[in-house]
């Protein structure tokens, strides 16, 4: 039993689940407490120790099925002519066909009952990055790697058939068929693992929609359709709005955090009543110490929404410890300094003029994420809220969603604001549904009312 569970843990780890030794030991101890002939109990002990989030669950399910249901149990090779012996013989023949190809060898291992290398290989394919320079700019990188595995699977299938044909007289019809059955079933399993990569379902991402009408006409107009005059009008509204929000935030904190006694003030006031502390004064909590990273798509359609978000975020700067801002189209540029040095509206004008960004290039989310990972990965921490404002239209470039997943692990929360109506998400080149499972929250954000709702949630 210990060996079996240990093998399963290795498979989990190879696939990217983080299982600690403590959890492995917990699992063993708990298996002693339940009736393991009841599969629900057995599986529950495993899942509750090895898959500790909804996201890990799907991967766990797949591995569990593979390990305890699909992975063909190889019969013992008692004699060369037994089934086990024949399988071993054929595996050896297949092994000889290896030509240094990693995936080929991983599949052979898989066929001989050890799935670890193959699982690790799948994980590599799933998470590897495809820098533009390697011709992998279009979404072909991962596809090419998968194709490589597919080619090898087919090649092996043919080799198995060929072996059985060539040895028909020795094996006899039935044994030949059984051998074919065994290998084809294993190859099918490998194929399914490759093609049905369990993505996190994303059903735990909250989709927030609100219908609160903060402002009637202006509040409902899509950002992308504002005239110059309405943009001006919007700025004025935002000034007033920011004042209101700050007020609300202070009041909220004041009532929330009456926990620390302000000794000095209390004693000073007590003097008015002959030293009797009639009024107890509490210290106000400092504003929340959240860090914000805003990644804004500034290609024409999205910029109109992003600018107002930046405007509000920077107007509310004192609610956060720090606001880092980045803009991107086909590349990424940090613009925090511009916002810190200039008045907001001026900064917004300057951002487009001064940042090193090609505005007319096609938007490349994958490159943006790669760039962020390369240069700015030290910024996010467990107090950071990462806000991405964009339509997720990748122009069919590689979305590199694995990087977003990595970012999620470093941040407190990941929120995606999409200025397109939800009905258009995931149409055409929009990768919204690819990114969504890695976000804690996704929101449509195409007009002021929706933006206000978002900001209120953020600071209150």
Partner 1 sequence: MKFTGVDDVLIKLESAHYIPSREIATVVFLADATSKPILVEGPAGVGKTELAKAVARSLGRELIRLQCYEGLDEAKALYEWEYAKQLLYTQMVKDKINDVIAGAETLAGAVDRIAAQEDAFFSERFIQPRPLLKAISSDKPPVLLIDEVDKSDPEFEAFLLELLSDFQVTIPELGTRKAVNIPFVVLTSNNYRDMSDALKRRCIHLYIDYPERELELRIVMLKNPGIHGRLAGQVVDMIRAIRNLDLKKKPCISEAIDWARSLISLRIEGITPEVVLQTLPMICKYRADSEKVKKSLDTLFSRV
CA 418 → CA 142, 213, 308, distances in Å? Answer: 26, 19, 14
Residues 6 or more apart in contact with residue 54 via CB below 8 angstroms: 200, 201, 203, 204
**Residue among 45 and 164 whose Cβ is closer to partner 1:** 45
Supply the DSSP symbol for 138.
B
Are 319 and 396 in contact by the 8 Å Cβ rule? The answer is no
Nearest to 103 by CA among 86, 120, 84: 120
Q: Of these, 44, 79, 165, 300, which contacts partner 1 (CB under 8 A)?
A: 44
Residue 275 binds to partner 1 (criterion: CB under 8 A): yes
With CB under 8 A as the contact rule, the residue among 54, 244, 268, 374 that binds partner 1 is: 54
**Residue 409 near partner 1 by CB under 8 A:** yes
Stretch that binds partner 1, among 73-81, 125-133, 251-259, 353-361 (CB under 8 A): 251-259
Minimal distance, residue 230 CB to partner 1, in Å: 26
Q: In 171-289, where do the E strands start and end?
A: 206-208, 260-261, 282-283
Select from 374, 454, 366, 378 the least CA-distant residue to 404.
366
Residues contacting partner 1: total by CB under 8 A = 52
Contact 130, 366 (CB under 8 A): yes
36 counts as binding partner 1 under rule CB under 8 A: no
Instruction: Pick the closer one to partner 1 by CB: 100 or 275.
Output: 275
- Counting contacts by CB under 8 A, is residue 456 touching partner 1? no
Residue 48 binds partner 1, judged by CB under 8 A = yes
Query: Is residue 154 within the footprint of partner 1 (CB under 8 A)?
Result: no
- Binding of residue 45 to partner 1 (CB under 8 A): yes
Q: Is 207 helix (H, G, I), strand (E, B) or coil?
A: strand
Regarding 213 and contact with partner 1 (CB under 8 A), the answer is no
Of 259, 358, 360, 378, the one binding partner 1 (CB under 8 A) is: 259
Q: Which residue has the tokens 């929250």?
A: 441
Q: Should residue 334 be labelled a site residue for partner 1 when binding is judged by CB under 8 A? A: no
Nearer to partner 1, 230 or 262 (CB): 262
18 binds partner 1 (CB under 8 A): yes
Minimum distance from residue 261 beta carbon to partner 1 (Å)? 5
Please give the Cα distance from 183 to 153 (Å, whole number): 11
Helix (H) / strand (E) element for 384: namely strand 384-389
> Is residue 16 at the binding interface for partner 1, with CB under 8 A as the rule?
no
- By CB under 8 A, name the one of 124, 288, 350, 373 that touches partner 1: 288
Which residues sit opposite 430 in a β-bridge?
A: 393
Cα(279)–Cα(267) distance, rounded to whole angstroms?
9
Place of tokens 């405007």: 311
Only one residue has tokens 């939800």, namely 422
Q: Which range of residues in 22-30, 186-194, 299-307, 424-432 is near partner 1 by CB under 8 A?
A: 22-30
Q: Across 298-383, where does the E strand assignment appear? A: 320-328, 332-334
Tokens of 283: 């210290």
CA 53 to each of CA 58, 202, 221: distance values in angstroms, whole numbers, following the listed order: 9, 12, 39
- For the bound state, the minimum distance from the C-beta of residue 37 to partner 1, rounded and expressed in Å, comes to 12
CB of 276 to partner 1, least distance (A): 5
Least Å distance, CB 404 to partner 1, is: 14
Under rule CB under 8 A, which residues in 190-209 are in contact with partner 1? 203-207, 209
Site residues (vs partner 1, CB under 8 A) = 18, 20, 22-23, 26, 29-30, 33-35, 38, 40-41, 43-45, 47-49, 51-54, 57, 203-207, 209, 211, 253, 256-257, 259-261, 266, 270, 275-277, 280, 285, 288, 382-383, 408-409, 412-413, 440
């Amino acid at each position: 039993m210990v060996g079996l569970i240990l093998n399963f843990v290795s498979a989990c780890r190879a696939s990217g689940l983080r299982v600690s030794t403590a959890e492995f030991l917990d699992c063993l101890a708990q298996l002693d407490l339940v009736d393991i002939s009841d599969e629900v109990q057995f599986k529950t002990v495993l899942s509750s120790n090895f898959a500790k989030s909804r996201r890990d669950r799907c991967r766990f399910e797949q591995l569990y099925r593979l390990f305890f249901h699909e992975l063909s149990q190889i019969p013992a090779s008692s004699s060369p002519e037994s089934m086990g012996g024949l399988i071993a013989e054929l595996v050896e023949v297949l092994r000889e066909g290896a030509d240094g190809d990693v995936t080929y060898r991983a599949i052979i291992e898989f066929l001989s009952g050890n799935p670890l290398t193959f699982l690790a290989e799948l994980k590599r394919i799933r998470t590897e990055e495809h820098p533009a320079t390697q011709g992998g700019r279009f979404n072909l990188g991962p596809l090419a790697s998968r194709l490589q595995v597919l080619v090898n699977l087919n090649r092996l299938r043919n080799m198995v058939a060929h072996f059985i044909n060539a040895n028909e007289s020795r094996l006899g019809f039935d044994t030949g068929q059984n051998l074919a059955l065994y290998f084809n079933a294993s190859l099918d399993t490998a194929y399914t693992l490759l093609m049905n990569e369990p993505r996190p379902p994303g059903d735990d991402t909250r989709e927030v929609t609100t219908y609160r009408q903060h402002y009637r006409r202006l509040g409902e107009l899509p950002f992308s359709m504002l005239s110059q005059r309405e943009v001006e009008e919007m700025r004025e509204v935002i000034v007033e709005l920011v004042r209101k929000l700050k007020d609300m935030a202070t009041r909220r904190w004041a009532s929330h955090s009456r926990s620390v006694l302000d000794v000095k003030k209390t004693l000073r006031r007590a003097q008015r009543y002959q030293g009797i502390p009639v009024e107890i004064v509490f210290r106000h909590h400092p504003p929340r110490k959240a860090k914000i990273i805003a990644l804004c798509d500034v290609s024409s359609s999205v910029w109109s929404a992003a600018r107002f978000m930046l405007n509000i975020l920077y107007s509310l700067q004192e609610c956060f410890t720090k606001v880092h801002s980045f803009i991107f189209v086909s590349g990424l540029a940090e613009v925090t300094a511009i916002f810190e040095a200039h008045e907001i509206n001026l900064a917004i004008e300057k951002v487009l003029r001064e940042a090193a960004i090609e505005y007319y290039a096609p938007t490349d989310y994958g490159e943006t994420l790669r760039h962020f990972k390369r240069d700015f990965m030290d910024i996010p921490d467990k107090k950071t809220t990462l806000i991405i404002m964009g339509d997720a239209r990748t122009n069919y470039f590689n979305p590199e969603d694995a990087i977003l997943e990595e970012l999620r692990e470093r941040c407190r929360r990941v929120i995606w604001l999409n200025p397109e109506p939800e009905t258009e998400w995931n149409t055409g080149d929009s990768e919204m549904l690819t990114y969504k499972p890695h976000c804690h929250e996704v929101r449509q954000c195409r007009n002021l009312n929706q933006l206000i709702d978002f900001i209120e949630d953020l600071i209150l």
